[in-house]
Chain A
Amino acid sequence: MNAPPAETSGETGERPGDRHAAGLDGARRLLGTVGFYTFCSLVLAFFSVPLLWLASAPFDDTPSITASLPSFTLDNFETLLDNRYALRSLGNSTILAAGTGALVVVCSALAAYALSRVRLPGRDALLYVLLLLSSIVTGTAAMVPLFNLAYELDLIDSQLGVILVLSGGLLPSAVFILKDFMDGTPRSYEESAQVFGASPLQVMRHVVVPLVRPGLATIAVWSVAQVWGNFLIPFLLLRSPEKSPAAVVMYTFYTEGGQPDLALISTFSLLYSVPVVLMFLLVSSRYGFRFHGGIKR
């Protein structure tokens, strides 16, 4: 269940002279071990208790708000299949996430590569201003003009509009993080590729992309996860329920109409959560989450 306690054995070569000190030391170590396990249990409890319901309710034949051991059934998933919007909204989420992910990865990779290899005037200032803007503007602060802009461009109730708006918001951070990855890769490969007459786009595709694949994977997963969970932008820009992604549809499940249908909500939550979790597991086992780049200066 838990990691073996470190430092409890070894290195206490007990000599008669400092038995008292060793005793104190032992007591302190015991206290430390107890404290360690208490802390770990508390953290584990804090983070897992809210999730219990998600694990139990979908399989309970009479799902209630309380998390409890279920009397096992799969009937709830039929309720889900019967709902007109449920599965469709997951498809919509996929479209939005895949579209945004592809756009963000391609654009940010190109930009980050150029910014990493060529010193364009005002590069660093530009990066910082954009990063600042992105964490500030995305979402709420620019709600009103985003709505107006989408209206003027005829992008209201269009999934393309949502993809473009989300990409614009995610790109600065993506470029910023990827540039750090690119900075960390050696240039000698590119130089030799160039000597053999590869064009910059070819160098990019065959030399740089394989080198920074963990970075690209990080960005792809990050942007897909951001879009998959995003509520505000599709809530703002999409009108018809047929086009709404899971985040918005799920919200309507528990706010509209008196009694929430717990069988539907719980199964839908689970189905909606599984893809992000799977994606996360896949990527972290394959590439490991590289967190050193991008964030530190």
Chain B
Amino acid sequence: MATSPPDPTLPAGEERAGRGERPERDAAGLGRARAAAFVVPALLLIAAFLVFPALWTIYLGLTDYRLTGLAAVDPQVVGLDNFERALDDDGFTNSLGLTLQFVVGSAVIGQAGLGFAIAWVLRNRRGFGRRLIEAMVLLAWILPSSVIAFLWIALLDRDDGTLNALLSTPGTAWLLEHPMLSIVVFNIWRGTAFSMMLYAAALGNVPPSHLETARLAGASSPQQLRDVVFPRIRGHVLTNLLLISLWTFNDFTPFLLTGGGPEDRTEIMPVFIYRTALFGGELGFGAAISVLMLLINLVIAVVYVRLLRRRKDPA
């Protein structure tokens, strides 16, 4: 309650005017001005710690700012040099490719696919079995990332790892031999819960009578999915894909597992930026890569939003 807004005691007339415009919407008699005052604390925080850093990133991307040395004291604007350098940089293209593999493999295919499969299979079940499975999936999602990272390091350990014991493949150093596969599977394990819960809720909105009708008409499960279920949950699917793609794109947790290595084989974009900017000290160059990353995120988001919009037009 310490952060209740600075309530500007407004002249009653102004409030009336605000209410007069849309009397039916303004149930609490808030008035535009007071409504704005309610929004201000949140907006201030967002502006200071989200929007401002984002804009600053764009500015830094245009400079040769460094963590140490001459350029740290007096950074010069170098225009688009950083961006040209990034696009030519092997490390950047490598990292971009790895990030795409990571996002498509672990989020779009892995989390969404597995999440939907679990939700679909369990849709008519109640009772202990369902609760147990959901609890396990959720546990993977809610535990702190540092703990999860160590659990997986232990699981995949070369000498004493539980996985090697289970698969009887002693001596396989998963994080060194199959680093990308490891973090993809790791991220599927980590994030499937969100998709599962979302699809479970979405499937709840599909009227059972429609599925029943389709079944009686002789539709197989894949046909039911395609013709009855999917058209109804298309919006959910797209929103889900948008969110998990963006989250996965910006996920730093694989760093706790592999630190970007071996060499640079798991150096996804956030790790690449961290290594370049704060480890390598090239803050300006790092910021430029951040901007490129923001642009890619924006493209992903715009594509999804477009697809979402199209849902409404033909119908």
Contact = CB atoms under 8 A, between A and B. Distances in A.
B142 A225 contact: yes
Interface in A31-88: 36, 39-40, 43-44, 46-54, 64-67
Contacts of B152: 50
**Dominant secondary structure of chain A at its interface with chain B:** helix
Contacts of B38: 110-111, 113-114
A133 B45 CA distance: 13
**Dominant secondary structure of chain B at its interface with chain A:** helix
Contacts of A175: 42
B144 A272 contact: yes
B20 interface: no
Contacts of A228: 144
A111 B43 contact: yes
A21 to B, nearest CB: 12
Contacts, number: 319
Nearest to A99: B2
Best-surrounded residue of B2, B50, B143, B197 (most CB of chain A within 10 A): B50
B270 interface: yes
A228 B146 CA distance: 10
Contacts of A232: 252
Interface residues of A, number: 103
A107 B5 CA distance: 8
B56 A149 contact: yes
Interface of B: 1-5, 7, 18, 22, 25-32, 34-36, 38-39, 41-43, 45-46, 48-54, 56-57, 60, 114, 117-118, 121, 124-130, 132-133, 136-140, 142-155, 157, 159-163, 165-166, 189, 197-198, 200-202, 235-236, 239-240, 243, 246-247, 250, 252-253, 256, 269-270, 273-274, 277-278, 283, 286-287, 290, 293-294, 297-298, 301, 305, 308
27 contacts: A3-B130, A39-B121, A40-B121, A66-B161, A66-B162, A66-B165, A67-B154, A110-B42, A120-B32, A128-B305, A136-B298, A141-B290, A142-B57, A143-B274, A145-B52, A149-B48, A149-B56, A168-B45, A171-B46, A194-B27, A200-B34, A228-B144, A229-B146, A246-B146, A247-B145, A272-B144, A291-B200
